[in-house]
Chains A and B, each alone.
Chain A
Amino acid sequence: MNYNFSLCLATLVFAAFTTAAPEACAQTKAQTITVIQPESTLKDFIRAVESQSNYTFVFGQDIDLSLKIRAEFKDLTLPQILQAALTPLGIKWKIEKSHIILKSADSRTRKITISGYVTDAASGESLIGANVIDRMHQTGGCTNNFGFYSVPVYVGETAMNYSFTGYSSQLHQLNIQNDTVINISLKSDLRLEEVMVSAEKSTTGFYSASTGSIEMPISKVRNTPSLLGESDVIKSIQMLPGADAAIEGFSGLLVRGGSPDQNLYMFDGIPIYSIDHLFGFFSVFDPQIVKKMDFYKGSFPARFGGRLSSVVDIRSNDGDLYNYHGAFSIGLLSSKFNLEGPIVKGRTAFNLSLRRSYMDLIARPFMSGRETYYLYFYDANIKLNHKFNDRSRLFLGFYQGRDCMGMDKKSYSSDYYSTMKSYDMNWGNRLASLRWNYQLNDVLFLNTTVSYNNYNMKYDNKDTAIDTYEEYCEESVSKKYHSGIEDVSANVDFDYYHSENHSMKFGAGLLHHHFSPDVETSQFSQKENAISTDTLYQAPHNSELDAEEISLYMEDQFQAGEKCLINIGARFSGFFVGKKNYFSLEPRLSLRYALSSDWAVKASYNTMSQYISLLSTSAISMPTDLWVPITDNLKPMRSHQFSTGLYLNRPNGWEFSLEAYAKLMNNVLEYKDGFGFLGSSRSWDCNVAQGKGRSAGIETTIRKNTGRTTGWISYTLAKSDRKFSQEVNEGKRFPFKYDRRHSIKMMLTHRFSKKVEVNAAWSYITGGTATIPLQRTVVSHPTESSRDYSYGNNIPGVFEIDYNQGRNNYRLPASHLLNLGINFIKQKKHGIRTWNISIYNVYCAANPTLVYKSTSWPSKWFAGDQNQIVVRKKSLFPIVPSVSYSYKF
């Protein structure tokens, strides 16, 4: 901002030279002027003087225009005023012709930059969002996603304060004359574990310009009581206002009237497609490796794009550079193991984590030898980081997670005849990334990422029959199917720190997609004695598709005056698929105005574009769901979101927020009436219609961040609907499937002592909608005679089917759920042991998972009794107690 102002002044100087110079020269310095500004800045003072004289000020960047000045000068000459006002600020002045030239009186006003990394003292792990504040001038910044900071300070004596949630802060008295690199290691302080300090320059929270964004504390994620004691990142987000689960107990995420595929999940900066294990009961993000998680639903920084509704930005631990340590956890469903430590002390470290469920192992002894079924998932995550020097670091990450299910079955109908049947289905993600961080100079930070991302599903089925009665004869049918999406991407991101009040992020990305929506082959084999024949069928719809995506972005955050913080940016993206090239320009703007030190108002406007979508059969995450790109016939989805809010942040740890939003979505997809995804992507773009969606709501939250009891309670009032052409619901507007009017959520943690803490999560959400055929109708179909009895129906030419009066015509009943958990924590000789006892659905609420139409028969028949058509609901998960043990060393 200073720079911009200087430019303006320079322009004014030029104008003054060319137009008013002669007149100005004639002016006498004895002219008296009056400046009464008891509390103002140097910038205001300059404006006041210029408005009453023909002099213009000329100065360089060494002059800080935000310096406070007390100007109460009445009828004084210009030199007298300048002397009185500027000398105390250490600013020299000189009048030359029509200009007043300002210079810094000493090096005190010259600014230099302190930059470096803030890390954990014990592990060397970089700390994201740590505060770095110059206490003498109350300016500063915070560390970025790689723990890097850059803060401009005045030359000479300064006092730098470094702080981070759960760590003891450090104050350093420094005498600095030149740009300096200072790396700080903060020590963990468990006494502060539950104290959440909002980073003043963070991209989320009270002090940021963003609306609807929050950094979810990992301690809260780990403590959220959940099904079978398996804490889960996504289920914790579902406890926030504006975010809901598609179905209770599952990890699908619905944000502000958006569908599950409108959420961008970034794992260490790489988009991840399938976030679910076991059909969505658990997410792939293991909380023990998560270092930081930001959730955006209102304002979207320009560096994020590609989805309409939300961004979940998850960063994992890099690995301890100095010591070996780890953790393990044993639960009813799965066990986890984590180990990290140095490979070369202080230079290279690794972080390894493994997780596997063992339902299959427990069930195996109970199965007969002829029949074996299995269902399990696993995650493996390894991360290496190497520190070349203070400016340069390299990270190598690899993740693989898969779900596997299958069956082997053998049967013998006689001594000579046997059959074997087997199938195996497995699906999951594989990610690999190479990231290089380099500090180009004290104000410019570079992050370069090359990544590979693959999600696929494979299915293999084989039926074999062997007959050895007279001759050996073997017949087999083998089916193979796979689908998936494969990405290779390269990104370059820059962080530029111009001043404590002005920073920029910019970068570019290139992404190559390879879609294999569904590829299917079948093989029929026959072996008779020595002769064998094979017949191979290729399904007619087998197709693979490539697409390219490019992106350029820039976001600029600056302080406009003392009270206003602005984050403005834009993202330009292009998608090249088939014969079509699509381009989008997405402006982003977030404003924050501080009403006082405790109160702030914010407003934002965001445009987002989405080029790929998920073909899904149901609200539950299925391995058969397919990611497909837009096509020549379908345009990219776009959203425009306006949101505004009022926020309170009290020093005693209480927070209050009230946010309102309105979101308009264009080109959203919906299956045409009568069509659905039936496992094949063939001609899928002919089966969907593009239309408009809108959603609006109010979200309010009261949060307590400090003390023995922490947590939040939130209420959301929301509405979301869709409108399409005649092909969907006859062109009539209809409620969105996940339109839920009211939502109340409460999340509490109470620490009785260092050894015992209790967690409670309760939610009440009004029901979404479903399409339930409540009546029967008849349909006709063409026959040559109009007399067709082929359906066994007594109405020729027509037959009965269910009749839906409208899409999402049925409002589901409300869901409510209470989960409790208690942790018993004990410091042992080599680490910390935690026993967790959880109860899911404490009062056994029968929440609807599946709703369908059925017939109710009278228990006893009496004359005149008739069966009744009713709607029934099925509920998953009654009260589910669980226990888990974990040990951190």
Chain B
Amino acid sequence: MKLIKYFFILLFMLLCSCESKEILYPSTQKVMVMNATIAQSYFDNILYLHFTGSDSVTAIIDADVSVYVNGELVQQINEGPKGEYILDFDYVQGDKVRIEATTADSQYHTWAEVTVPEMMHISSVDIVYERVSDYAANKHYSVHIKDLSPQTDYYRMTYIQKSDDETELSCWRYSSHIILPPDPILTDGYSIQDDGHDKELYNKTYNRYLIFNDSKFAGSEAVLKFYKEIGYQATWPLQDSDDIQITVYSITEEEFNYLRQMNVVASNSIIPEISEPLRLPSNVRGGTGFVSISNGEPYIIAGRKE
């Protein structure tokens, strides 16, 4: 909790008449919600369909979903348990993908169209171990990439660690575990790192989804730097057997803006007492939600096997 919240609490404790009255709640019509974050490297690509609601959302399980690539119907789905519709279609960069969804009673119809961005490759990844104490080390990554074009391009990076017994799942979780030094590219517009120290006056927005643009390396090469703490290991060289998958996706400008605001949500930096309520952008016609397609080739680093 930050200081600015205390202002308002103090203000209202001192001066509020403590009167809280219910006033008119206008009736609102429910809206169909379509969401999908699509990438070929994902295990599953799921289209989510829901209805908005005043209290909570409702999953749409019996909608008709049609997927078109460059105007050609490539997939139809008629049911989606829990509102999840598994997408399975092929596309390449430059394709226009259009996803349509119609409820069983045909009263609600939404669609979204996305142009698949250009495929992004990682040139190479350098790793350096830094021993910081007898029991801890930092694993420094340098990810070499080349910008796709001299025009403005948008990217996001993911980092996945695959251990022997499980697949750690969440990009969100991983992004908070890797540490961003003052990297001019990955930290653009965001604080350095949510490292638990309450250094700053305000709640800050962190780059949870590791998005960036090419404003600092347009048309040329760049190195993305971050590191991960590896601690509490008694031996040196360190045991580091996990496989690492790093992917830099090319994304659309709309997805970049969407994820910028998702960073705000994930950082919990909204102060509801004084901020305007958050409103995420939507590219879904006839309803709301966001459909995106990212394009990037994973770069896998095998762990040290004894």
Contact = CB atoms under 8 A, between A and B. Distances in A.
A876 B277 CA distance: 22
A783 B172 contact: yes
Nearest to B54: A869
A99 interface: no
A777 B100 CA distance: 19
B259 interface: yes
B17 A540 contact: no
Interface in B279-306: 279-282, 288-290, 292, 294
A295 to B, nearest CB: 28
Task: Determine the interface band of chain A, counting residues with CB < 8 A from chain B.
Answer: 35 or more
Contact of B264 (A674, A682, A805): A674
Contacts of B173: 790
Contact of B269 (A671, A673, A678, A683): A678
A764 interface: no
Of B44, B191, B192, B202, most A-chain CB atoms within 10 Å: B202
B182 A540 contact: yes
B19 A878 contact: yes
A795 B48 contact: yes
B25 A774 contact: yes
The 10 A-B residue pairs with the shortest CB-CB distance in the complex, in nearest-first order:
A679-B202, A674-B261, A780-B35, A522-B199, A618-B274, A673-B279, A775-B52, A878-B17, A804-B279, A869-B54
Interface in A729-743: 729-730
14 contacts: A477-B198, A617-B275, A622-B274, A672-B257, A679-B203, A680-B202, A729-B279, A774-B26, A779-B35, A784-B171, A788-B171, A797-B46, A868-B25, A870-B23
B115 interface: no
Contact of B170 (A539, A680, A790): A790
A780 B87 CA distance: 15
B37 A676 contact: no
B201 A481 contact: yes
Interface stretch (B4-12, B102-110, B134-142): B4-12
Contact of A622 (B7, B31, B43, B245): B7
Given A622-B7, A784-B158, A870-B25, A776 B53 contact: yes
A479 B16 contact: no
Contacts of A873: 20-21, 23
A817 to B, nearest CB: 13
B56 interface: yes
Nearest to A779: B280
B11 A279 contact: yes
Interface string A748-781: 0000000000000000000000011111111111
A103 B268 CA distance: 85
A110 B264 CA distance: 76
Contacts of B266: 781
A537 B199 contact: yes
Nearest to B39: A782
Contacts of A360: none
A481 B198 CA distance: 14
Of B28, B45, B294, most A-chain CB atoms within 10 Å: B28
Contacts, number: 256
A856 interface: yes
A190 interface: no
Contacts of A775: 28, 30-31, 52-54
A730 B282 contact: yes
A44 to B, nearest CB: 63
Contacts of B45: 786
B121 interface: no
Given A461-B3, A807-B279, A782 B294 contact: yes
Interface string B24-65: 111010110101110101111110101011111101000000
Given A680-B204, A782-B37, A878-B17, A787 B23 contact: no
Interface in A369-387: 375
B288 A776 contact: no
B278 interface: yes
Interface string B94-137: 00000000000000000000000000000000000000000000
Given A772-B277, A774-B28, A876-B16, 6 more contacts: A617-B275, A781-B262, A786-B37, A786-B46, A795-B59, A802-B278
A778 B171 contact: no
Contact of A784 (B16, B43, B205, B276): B43
B20 A786 contact: no
A774 B54 contact: yes
B279 A785 contact: no
Contact of B209 (A540, A782, A875): A782
Contact of A777 (B50, B160, B200, B264): B50
Interface string B249-271: 00000000101111011100111
A60 to B, nearest CB: 67
Given A774-B28, A795-B48, A784 B21 contact: no
Contacts of A459: 3, 201
